Structure 1
Amino acid sequence: MTVMDDGFELEEELRAIADLLDPVPPELFEHAMQAFTLRTLDAELAELTFDSSDAEPATRVRGAAQPRMLTFEGGGVVLELELTDAAGGTRMVGRLLNGGPTEIGVQRREGEARMRSDDLGRFTAESLARGPLRLRVTPDGGDTVVTSWILI
């Protein structure tokens, strides 16, 4: 009798064979990401207005690791983020300056993790893996705002 693995092992073997025989063209991934972005065309874009890693490029090379501070603005939303390297990934602490409970979605290539900010607009996400992400912010009774993609 064989143990069922829900097809994951077979799926991985088939992926490896497909990658070897017919690899995905590099530009296709970029086009797919652009198409994926269009699904939120109805959302307002919050642009990155401050990134502490741009303000002090020398700090990325020398000295103790400092938290990365980011600010996004758009659609009446001001979002401040602090990213800190921690054991197991990156810790994100966020705050919406207009406050109030808000639905927050942390969007990654592999999916979206949802959370809710508190009454003061604060939220936290732990153990985020390195890679691109963006936030989808939907204030109660307000329009959805999506940040630009950032690399953590």
Structure 2
Amino acid sequence: MTTDEAMLAQVRQMWDELDPVPDELADHACFGLALATVEAEVARVLRHAHPVGARGDERSRVITFDSTTLTVMISIADNADGTLRLDGWITPAASHTVELRAATGVRTGSSDRNGRFAFDNVAAQLTQLAVRTNGTVITPAIAL
């Protein structure tokens, strides 16, 4: 081993001790890369509102995703049983198939003609949305 390799090994060991790689990082990366449709358009996070207090212990978050073809806004609220409720709006408003994708499976729903959709009893986990239009728009994976 050269001096440079020994020094780099020490730096790696230092970072492994000070800032170890999270156990779930590989799973999250694989989930994000496992796109069902390679030609899908990936939306970017446009705006992310921090948790907002409501009545009692309730809290909600609002995240907006933007792509060249549509915008998706979701509101995430806690349910009393520990699950989550996602209420979403798609613009331009139209009926579309909406998939809620997670490591535990895919739930399919649809937006109404006003672009509104909802998923209830959602587990807090790494999740992404896929909106089927003339093509497919996929949001980045987010930790709920």
Name the TM tier (shorter chain): 0.7 to 0.9
Instruction: Provide, for residues 114-152 of structure 1, a one-character-per-residue CA deviation record: whole Å limited to 9, x for no partner.
Output: 00111101011001111110000012xx22100000111
Q: 1:135 aligns with which of 104, 129, 134?
A: 129
1:67-86 equivalences under 5 Å are: 67-86=60-79
Corresponding position of 2:120:
126
- 1:87: Cα distance to partner? 2.0
Runs of at least 4 residues of structure 1 off by over 2 A?
Answer: 25-35, 63-66
TM-score by length of 1: 0.69
**1:9-30: per-residue Cα shift (whole Å, max 9, x none)?**
xxxxxxxxxxxxxxxx976535
For 1:103 and 1:130, locate their aligned partners in 2 and report how far apart those are by CA, in whole Å.
22
CA contact (8 A) 2:102 2:128 kept: yes
TM-score of the two chains, using structure 2 as the length reference: 0.73
Q: CA RMSD in A?
A: 2.3
Tell me if structure 2 keeps the 8 A contact 1:87–1:127. no
CA pair 27-131 structure 1, distance change in 2 beyond 3 A: closer
> % of aligned pairs identical?
21
Q: What is the aligned length?
A: 119
Matches within 5 A, 1:90-101: 90-101=84-95
Summarize the alignment of residues 101-120 of structure 1 with structure 2, pairs less than 5 Å apart: 101-120=95-114
- Cα 1:76–1:115, aligned 2, differ >3 Å: closer, same or farther? same
Unaligned runs of 5+ in 2: 1-22
- Aligned-pair distance for 1:97? 1.7
CA shift at 1:36, angstroms? 1.4
Per-residue Cα deviation, 1:47-106 (whole angstroms, up to 9, x for no partner): 1111112xx7xx68xx95432011000131101111001123101000002011000000
Q: Which has the higher helix share?
A: 1
Change (3 A) 1:65 1:87: closer
Whether the aligned pair in 1 keeps the contact of 2:65 and 2:139 (CA below 8 Å) is yes
Q: Residues 26 and 105 of structure 1: is their aligned pair in 2 closer, same or farther, counting only changes over 3 Å?
A: closer
Tell me: CA distance 1:126–1:46, structure 2 relative to 1, closer, same or farther (3 Å).
Answer: same
Unaligned runs of 5+ in 1: 1-24
